[in-house]
Chain A
């Protein structure tokens, strides 16, 4: 049982929350024409680490707002809670973000407008 500190409401028990799974999955823009295999990274493939995991949560039975969490999937220790749209600040959270295979996917690059992602791939 987790005690989760909602950034808006304070500490509440786990049963008030719903979990939205892996965080920081950016939707590729249609203009970037990914292959089916590249798109699968976005749509189906999920990070499932034994250890530090970055995930989205929602205070479903409270303020109903979303936030991000860095949590260890073995000890269940919550290392950091941070707002949507941000990346983690803790050392462990930062490492988990940087080391994720998702950072190297075409799907993630394609979440930026075509000109940008193309120049990035070209360079």
Chain B
């Protein structure tokens, strides 16, 4: 059930912004790079917009961009309490794949994958999308069997997926230890060759610049403190920089979704938890793909700078503290060092946490609410970076038309009443 080609709308900065290219780079070098245009304006909030998007992460910025590029909506603002991409967008381990179990998931993640494949051209911004493959490894008989079931389901949806044995894995990833007598032995795995990574900040910046080119106001350092309603209808947002009138509000605030929902007396099934990651000091290239282990809650890749990027599991209790608990990365590192002995003497350079909005079925919420004109896009939890373009694309469509399209429809909030859950715990809840 692979999806059709998405409608990409206007592309490549039709609004007249200076384009980035090798030629432009050479030309500006003559001037010592003094006269580059700002990537986006520092827009002061206006008194009224057609749509206000709350949250300047990748999902919010993509939503604003597609509202302008695909739906032609002119007066759009993105309101961000901190800086662009300072939330989970700038904190994640950037793994992108579309190999999920259920049809509903295949539809949205593959929709996103198609948009990734061409995003740098669409936005005229190099998001460094690198389809280096994502290999998920199995450490037990049971996991291996579950994996083959998953691979068949994924293939039926027209999405690339291959099973690999330990020997093939060793050929593909020479630094991996396939000794069967370790705590988490490599018994097999499955590979999505079209999966990979992208530069997370570039995704936020690229969408921001392209949205700005189409007239979207990007307002940073502005916190939304209230959602003003008139009866059942949204009429505006209260912010730290004053009231802004609007009849449509899209909330894309990840870990703070429950806080935002409470402002409109809406309850969500979410739990906000820290998710942690770390990078090592940079070394020469040793890993040219992405490896994930669901049993360990480990995912590893090597950045273009040479740092080993390692992600850990989600903490077990709710927190808004934006830092995690030490035993979580410690457990992950213990297993990682055994699986990749080359890591054992590396020093850790940075370690951080982000607050992720986990949903009971490990699938997102893309939904209208009981308040007319108020929409939520949240619950992406530990794995929403990969969905950034697809999420923004279908959310913009929901806001513009006030009805979900076929990709977004299964993700409505009412699934927690009907029981039509999209249970992706096997594929999403533990790792990425």
Give me the interface of A with B, judged by CB distance under 8 Å: 1-2, 14-15, 18-19, 21, 36-37, 39-41, 43-46, 48-50, 53, 55, 71, 73-76, 101
Contacts and interface: CB of A to CB of B under 8 A. Distances in A.
Query: Could you say which of B256, B318, B419 has the most chain A C-beta atoms within 10 Å of its C-beta?
Result: B318
A50 B271 contact: no
A86 B36 CA distance: 64
B32 interface: no
Contact of B271 (A1, A18, A21, A36): A21
Contact of A74 (B267, B320, B327, B416): B320
Contacts of A45: 267-269, 416
Chain B interface size, as a band, is 20 to 34
13 contacts: A2-B325, A21-B271, A44-B269, A46-B269, A46-B271, A48-B259, A48-B268, A50-B258, A53-B318, A55-B318, A73-B318, A73-B321, A76-B319
Given A40-B416, A44-B360, A50-B259, A55 B317 contact: yes
Interface in B358-409: 360
Contacts of A15: 327
A74 B321 contact: yes
A48 B320 CA distance: 10
B23 interface: no
A49 B258 contact: yes
A89 B34 CA distance: 63
The interface residues of chain B, by DSSP majority, are classed as loop
Contacts of B327: 1, 14-15
A24 to B, nearest CB: 15
Given A2-B325, A44-B360, A50-B259, A19 B317 contact: yes
Interface of B: 256, 258-259, 265, 267-272, 316-321, 325-327, 360, 416-419
The interface residues of chain A, by DSSP majority, are classed as mixed
A75 B417 CA distance: 34
A25 B87 CA distance: 31
A51 to B, nearest CB: 8
A39 to B, nearest CB: 8
A101 B258 CA distance: 13
Contacts of A14: 325, 327
A99 to B, nearest CB: 11
A37 B417 CA distance: 5
A71 B321 CA distance: 12
Nearest to B258: A48
A40 B317 contact: no
A67 B325 CA distance: 21
Nearest to B261: A48
A61 B416 CA distance: 33
A46 B272 CA distance: 10
A40 B418 CA distance: 9
A49 B268 CA distance: 11
A46 B270 contact: yes
Contacts of A46: 269-271
A101 B419 CA distance: 22
B320 A50 contact: yes
Query: Could you say which of A44, A55, A75 has the most chain B C-beta atoms within 10 Å of its C-beta?
Result: A44
Given A1-B326, A50-B272, A75-B321, 18 more contacts: A1-B325, A2-B325, A36-B417, A36-B419, A40-B416, A45-B416, A46-B269, A46-B270, A48-B259, A48-B268, A48-B272, A48-B318, A50-B258, A50-B259, A71-B317, A73-B318, A74-B321, A101-B265
Query: Could you say which of B265, B267, B268, B326 has the most chain A C-beta atoms within 10 Å of its C-beta?
Result: B267
Nearest to B331: A15
B379 to A, nearest CB: 11
A36 B268 contact: no
A34 B218 CA distance: 45
Contact of B316 (A19, A40, A41): A19
A15 to B, nearest CB: 5
B219 to A, nearest CB: 22
A41 B416 CA distance: 9
A14 B417 CA distance: 34
A109 B268 CA distance: 20
A44 B271 CA distance: 11
Nearest to B267: A45
Contacts of B318: 21, 48, 53, 55, 73
B271 A41 contact: no
Contacts of B321: 73-76
A71 B320 CA distance: 12
